[in-house]
Every structure is written in structure tokens, then in C-alpha cells.
Amino acid sequence: MLSLAEENYLKAIYHLSLRGQAVLTNDLAAQLHTKAASVTDMIKRLSLKALVRHEKYYGVMLTKKGTQAALSIVRKHRLWETFLVQKLGFTWDEVHEVAEQLEHIQSARLIEALDEFLGYPSVDPHGDPIPDKTGKMTTSADRALSEMSPGFQGRIQAVKDSDSQLLKYLDKLGAHPGTPIQLVAIETFDGSLEVIIRKTRYFLSREVSQNILVTHP
């Protein structure tokens, strides 16, 4: 069985490795708000358990076993977020912190029952895909709104789940997963974006646009 700290490391490595590269110790330390020395210790522990591979000057990668463990935590996190919003009436900006605790529950039976109870959802309230019990999930070719050019028309696929202030703001704009969005122009002065959401024109900061994933219709 893995400790809570080990699980959090695996999850952080998983999220950082989605950029398609090995994860650097410093990036991991920044993500987990800890010192590089602590990260190095933990990487050794996880290597001994065959969960990660560490190559000097290159970085850390999850092994197959490590990926399965990380996906299982991600699955629990996203199922609990879905449960909290759909069944307990939490708003989408309230669930991440609670799911950070619930994702460490070990009962496989509970998680299978929860999945069935929710009707085997494929995405969570923020639009993120939920891995099934074998670790498979629907992935789409989504990219950040900030990478799009003026004239882009598509839909919001997902939004960053961990910043409740951002989520409250997006809620006010009606910027939920599935909502059509149009990029009209990009301000050269500060990189802010002029967009149309539900027939209303908004100006989004660069930072906000980096946390909205979009997909072509």
C-alpha cells in the first residue's frame, strides 16, 4: 500500500509528464511546494518500489506500474468531484479540495460502486476525462485557448480544476465544458483575448486563457 505522500508524488509526476517529457526534480519541488532534497528522497523510495525511473540529468518518469497507480488516484479524484457536484449539490469551485482528501480512500469496492452509482461517467464537472478501472480514458486533441489564433471557433473542453477563484469567474461567464467559444482578436499590448461566449463579448487575460482547454467542433 502507498502512503498519502507517495500517492501525491505519483499524481504530480503524472500531471507534469503530460507535457510529454521526463519530469525535473525542481519542477516537482515547485509543484509540491517542497524542497528539492525532499523530492530526491521520495524519488529514491518510489524507484525502489518500481513506480518511477530516474535518470540523472534527464528526469523522472513513471513506470507502467507507477502510471497505473497514478491513474487510479486520478480516477478516484474525478469520480468524487462528479459525485459531489451531481449528488450533493456542491458547486464546481468547491470540490477540488475535498476530492484531494477523498482520492486516497483505498477501498476498490467503494470506488467501483461509486462509478456504477454515477452511471460510469466519462468526464468530471471540469471536463477532465475519468479513467475507467483499467486506466483507459477518452482523450481528445484539446489545446489551451491561449494557443489559438483569431478566428478560432470551437467548444470549451475542460477548465483547470484547482483554482476556485478562476472557476467562480468562469461560472459567471457561463464558460462551462461544452460551451461554444469564439476567439475574435488578441490584444498585442498584453496578450489578452477578445472572445464571444453565449453571444456576449468578453476580454480574457492571458492567464485565464491558458487554463481553458478548447476543441474544434
Contacts with Zn ion, residue ranges (CB under 5 A)? 96, 161
Of residues 11 and 96, the one with the C-beta less far from Zn ion: 96
Q: Which is nearer to Zn ion, 76 or 96 (CB)?
A: 96
Question: Residue 28: exposed, middle, or buried by beta-carbon count in 10 A (0-12, 13-18, 19+)?
Answer: buried
Closest CB to Zn ion among 102 and 193?
Answer: 102
Q: Which is nearer to Zn ion, 93 or 161 (CB)?
A: 161
Smallest distance from Zn ion to CB 93, Å: 10
Contact at 8 Å (CB) between 1 and 51? no
Closer to Zn ion at the Cβ: 7 or 161? 161
Least spacing, CB of residue 36 vs Zn ion, in Å = 26
CB of 73 to Zn ion, least distance (A): 11
Q: State the minimum distance, in angstroms, from the CB of residue 192 to Zn ion.
A: 27
Task: State in angstroms the smallest separation of the CB of 162 from Zn ion.
Answer: 6
User: Based on CB atoms, which residue is closest to Zn ion, 142 or 161?
Assistant: 161
SS3 annotation, the chain: CCCHHHHHHHHHHHHHHCCCCCECHHHHHHHCCCCHHHHHHHHHHHHHCCCEEEECCCEEEECHHHHHHHHHHHHHHHHHHHHHHHHHCCCCCCHHHHHHHHCCCCCHHHHHHHHHHCCCCCECCCCCECCCCCCCCCCCCCEEHHHCCCCCEEEEEEECCCCHHHHHHHHHHCCCCCCEEEEEEECCCCCCEEEEECCEEEEECHHHHHCEEEECC
